[in-house]
């Protein structure tokens, strides 16, 4: 990342080789449009290129940092298609969730695809639907309530229980043991 | 906003599922609140896992080129702005002999930025001149990639014990071809050149070594396509220190004496004592 921050195009090349397909997968999942997804990925990699120096002080892996930028830009793109939506600050280079306090350091969850798929299978369909509509659909919790025809309080509950269920399923075994004993 | 209100909005906040006003309110509360909000942290830690729910998909082949070209333009703009207060800095398109690193200097750090700067500006100029993504720009980028790989090869060779590095520049100072050549201790030469005009017909560019006896020795010829770049490694018996590396354009392969003008020339210097 230091090489990226110093303006090393080779470092950007390597970053793309490592995460380009994953970034595009996320952008395409959110936008549902190949051209828009490529615009998002290009925008995100350039954002990472220009803001790499800020990563030094951020927590989390390069993967999470980069893919969060992709997610942020993709959600921005689809929300702009819906002019009635109250838009967040689209100029923010780094998503909110990356500027959280250092005191939030936490145990590292298992993030590999197999573990995530298993975890998603352990929460209920309606919880998974609510999380996906929020995170990949770009809907606010109020919009999710409208879309699914359930009260807002129910949506809030589904999001909370769904995230808690995923976390429990993704905790490393030793951490899960500690949690169950504690 | 109270802690309880922030906690109620925590799941939607970490998922980005709040409107701007609510999201800002939570963010302000978290910045000012002395409480740890442990549940917010726990929920937040789950979010990166959601990336694992998405299958990677290969984007179109041209996307990486477009990103690198845009980054090169950005880099050129940054370095262009950074160089204005320093008028003594050599123009990237007209490198001067003074750029040759002295013995014992870290040539890597010296060269990477000016070279990248030149590469970036070349890309930027290409984009500005062409105004669109097209075949010519693709050729430029192919050339940039080839040049970059050639530079890495030359710098690796120059980093070997006893190796010498020459910076080749246009002796007329008019922004002609430029490049680098590493002369290994066994005499072999690794060379990379840019801003060369494409060869036509039987034309070849010929590289020459000139040792203490002042007699130019041809070490290899090569043709150049529209990319304007070339790199090669050629074996050659060792000539000694202070060898001059030169480049000419010859009407056909096999020249035994260089045909004026000298297009680029530089003196090889050892990089380590």
- Please write the tens of the pLDDT for every residue from B55-110: 899 998 778 877 877 777 777 666 655 544 433 333 333 333 333 333 333 333 33
Residue of A nearest to B13 (CA): A97
Residue that terminates a domain, selected from A69, A101, A133: A101
Cβ–Cβ below 8 Å for A20 and B59: yes
Residues B19, B113, single domain; the answer is no
A142 in the same domain as A76: no
| Closest CA of chain A from B54, distance in Å | 6
Among candidate residues B14, B42, B48, the one with its CA nearest the CA of residue A112: B48
Residues A126 and A82 both lie in one domain: no
Residue B264 has pLDDT above 60, yes or no: yes
Whether B19 and B85 map to the same domain: the answer is no
In angstroms, the Cα distances linking B152 to A52, B157, B225, B232 are: 23, 9, 21, 12
> The domain containing residue A44 runs over which residues?
2-101
When scoring B9, B49, B127 by the number of chain A Cβ atoms within 10 A, the one with the most, hence best to mutate, is B49
> Within this chain, do residues B129 and B264 fall inside the same structural domain, yes or no?
yes
Please report residues of A whose CB lies closer than 8 A to that of B15.
131, 134-135, 159, 163
B151, pLDDT greater than 50? yes
Map tokens 């013995």 to a residue: B103
Same domain? A91 vs A45: yes
Q: What is the rounded average pLDDT of the residues B187-205? A: 89
Q: A77, A168, A85, A91: which is closest to A122 by C-alpha?
A: A168
Q: Give the mean pLDDT of A115-126.
A: 92
* Residue span of the structural domain in which B34 resides: 3-53
Q: Are residues A92 and A15 in the same domain?
A: yes
Q: Which of B12, B20, B71 sits opposite A89 (nearest CB)?
A: B20
ipTM of the complex as predicted: 0.83
Overall number of domains in chain A = 2
- State the distance between the two ends of chain B, measured CA to CA, in whole angstroms: 67
Rounded distance between C-alpha atoms, residue A44 and residue B155, angstroms: 32
Domain-embedded: residue A108? no
Locate B190 and state its tokens.
Answer: 């690794």
**A18 plus A95 within the same structural domain:** yes
Residue A107 lies in a domain: no
Same domain, B34 and B69: no
Output A55 or B130, whichever has higher pLDDT: A55
Per-residue pLDDT at B205 exceeds 50: yes
Q: Please, which pLDDT band fits residue A108 given cuts at 50, 70 and 90?
A: low
B150 and B261 co-located in one domain: yes
Cross-chain Cβ contact B59/A38 below 8 Å:
yes
Average pLDDT over residues A144-167: 95
Rounded to the nearest integer, the mean pLDDT of chain A is: 80
Angle at B6 between CA A109 and CA A88, to 5 degrees: 85
Angle formed by the axes of helices A125-135 and A152-170, nearest 10°:
100
* Number of domains chain B is built from: 2
Q: Are residues A90 and A137 in the same domain?
A: no
Q: Which of A36, A67, A101 is the last residue of a domain?
A: A101
Between residues B131 and B164, the one the model is more confident about: B164
> Residue B162: what pLDDT?
84
**pLDDT for B271:** 57
* Coarse DSSP helix, strand, coil percentages of chain A, rounded to the nearest 5 percent: 70, 0, 30
Do A88 and A148 have their domain in common?
no
**CB-closest option in B10, B20, B46 to A166:** B46
A122 and A59 in a single domain? The answer is no
Check which CATH number belongs to the domain holding A140 and give it.
Answer: 1.10.10.10
**Residue A106 counted as domain residue:** no
Same domain, B170 and B189: yes
* The predicted structure's pLDDT at residue B179: 84
Q: pLDDT-derived band of residue A60, with 50, 70 and 90 as boundaries?
A: low
CB A142 within 8 A of CB A131: no
Q: Confirm whether A71 is domain-assigned.
A: yes
Question: Residues B90, B33: one domain?
Answer: no
Residue B222 sits in the same domain as residue B159: yes
Cβ distance A42 to B40 less than 8 Å, yes or no, reads no
């Amino acid at each position: 990342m230091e090489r990226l921050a110093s303006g090393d195009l080779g470092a950007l090349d390597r970053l793309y080789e490592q995460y380009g397909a994953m970034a595009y997968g996320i952008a395409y999942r959110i936008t549902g449009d190949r051209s828009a997804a490529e615009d998002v990925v290009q925008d995100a990699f350039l954002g990472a290129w220009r803001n790499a120096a800020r990563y030094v002080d951020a927590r989390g892996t390069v993967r999470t940092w980069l893919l969060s930028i992709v997610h942020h830009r993709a959600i921005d793109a689809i929300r702009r298609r819906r002019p009635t939506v109250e838009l967040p600050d689209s100029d923010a280079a780094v998503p909110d969730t990356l500027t959280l306090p250092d005191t939030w350091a936490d145990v590292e969850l298992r993030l590999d695809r197999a573990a995530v798929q298993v975890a998603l299978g352990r929460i209920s369909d309606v919880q998974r639907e609510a999380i996906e509509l929020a995170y990949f659909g770009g809907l606010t919790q109020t919009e999710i309530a409208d879309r699914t025809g359930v009260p807002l309080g129910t949506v809030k509950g589904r999001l909370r229980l769904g995230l808690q269920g995923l976390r429990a399923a993704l905790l490393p075994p030793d951490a899960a043991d500690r949690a169950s004993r504690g | 906003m109270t802690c309880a209100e922030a906690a109620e909005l925590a799941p939607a906040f970490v998922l980005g599922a709040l409107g701007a006003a609510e999201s800002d309110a939570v963010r302000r509360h978290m910045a000012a609140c002395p409480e740890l909000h442990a549940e917010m942290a726990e929920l937040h830690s789950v979010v990166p896992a959601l990336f694992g729910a998405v299958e990677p998909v290969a984007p179109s082949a041209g996307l990486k080129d477009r990103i690198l070209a845009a980054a090169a333009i950005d880099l050129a703009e940054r370095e262009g702005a950074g160089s204005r207060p320093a008028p003594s800095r050599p123009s990237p398109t007209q490198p001067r002999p003074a750029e040759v690193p002295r013995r014992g200097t870290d040539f890597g750090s010296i060269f990477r930025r000016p070279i990248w700067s030149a590469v970036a500006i070349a890309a930027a100029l290409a984009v500005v001149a062409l105004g669109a993504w097209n075949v010519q720009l693709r050729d430029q980028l192919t050339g940039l990639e080839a040049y970059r790989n050639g530079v890495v090869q030359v710098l690796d060779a120059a980093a070997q014990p006893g190796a010498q590095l020459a910076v080749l520049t246009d002796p007329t100072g008019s922004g002609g071809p430029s490049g680098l050549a590493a002369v290994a201790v066994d005499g072999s030469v690794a060379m990379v050149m840019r801003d060369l005009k494409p060869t036509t017909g039987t034309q070849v560019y010929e590289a020459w070594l000139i040792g203490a006896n002042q007699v130019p020795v041809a070490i290899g010829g090569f043709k150049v396509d529209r990319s304007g770049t070339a790199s090669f490694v050629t074996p050659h018996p060792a000539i000694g220190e202070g060898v001059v590396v030169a480049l000419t354009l010859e009407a056909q392969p096999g020249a035994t004496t260089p045909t004026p003008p000298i297009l680029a020339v530089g003196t090889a210097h050892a990089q380590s004592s």
